[in-house]
Structure 1
Amino acid sequence: MHTEWHFPVMIFASLLVFFLVIRAVLPGQEFLQKKYTVVLLSVWVVIVGMLFGKYGASWGLPWWIYYPIPMLMTVLLPPFVLKLRKNKTILYLILSFLSAPFIHIFFSFFFGWTEYMPFWKIPSAQILFHY
């Protein structure tokens, strides 16, 4: 089965979810004022982070480098770069920690794609409903 196109789709979905998380954290006017920062932050955190995570193993990096670095980028950069206050940082952290499992559950359940979080087995709708 050819699955190489799954990764770009998952990057796009992750970008969308990241934008939604940032939009939920920042008030409308502030989001608009920081739109260029949000775009650059999104590219760095989502696209660079996912590419680093995916290809880190291929480059021979140990898991304790290629797995935590994208996670730390996701956790630390947005609150710092967007200058979030404590309550907004807490909201961001909660939503960001929920977003990866949400994306994984979505792709695993509806499409049977398990690459996003391969260590967490979610049955697909096809298996559950036998179609």
Structure 2
Amino acid sequence: MAILGIGTDIADVPRFAEHIERVPELLDRLLTPAEQLKRNGKRRTDASLAARFSAKEALKKAIGFPGWLPWQSAEVVPARSGAPSFRLRGLVLEHFHRIEATNIHLSITHDADLTMTFVIVEGEGPSLSPGVDWDADHFG
């Protein structure tokens, strides 16, 4: 198994909250109902909501999803361990299989007004971000 792609994203929490306040229906387009609510049924904090959106942005980069990502097709959910994970469906799941991906690692953190997410996608397919070919000719 190899790393197929990586993705990272930083979200400004007040900016995200401002967008949601201005266009409330945006929240329903970006996040599923389960992502918006805690287990007790109360709305998550702005930092938690921004982090979930940021995770989807990082996933889009890591899997090389072409064009617009159907936000509802990638849901941030807790794994059995409690760590954040993804539940994929629809076009995102189809693309995940097409690139021969088998595993996603997701890390989310936030401090003050920023959230940061990091995604690593593993699988059997070709790398989505090949990097540099470090052969002898490279150093001339």
Higher normalized contact order (CA 8 Å, seq sep 6+, divided by chain length):
2
- Of Structure 1 and Structure 2, which has the larger fraction of its residues in helix? 1
TM range (shorter): 0.3 to 0.5
More strand by share: 2
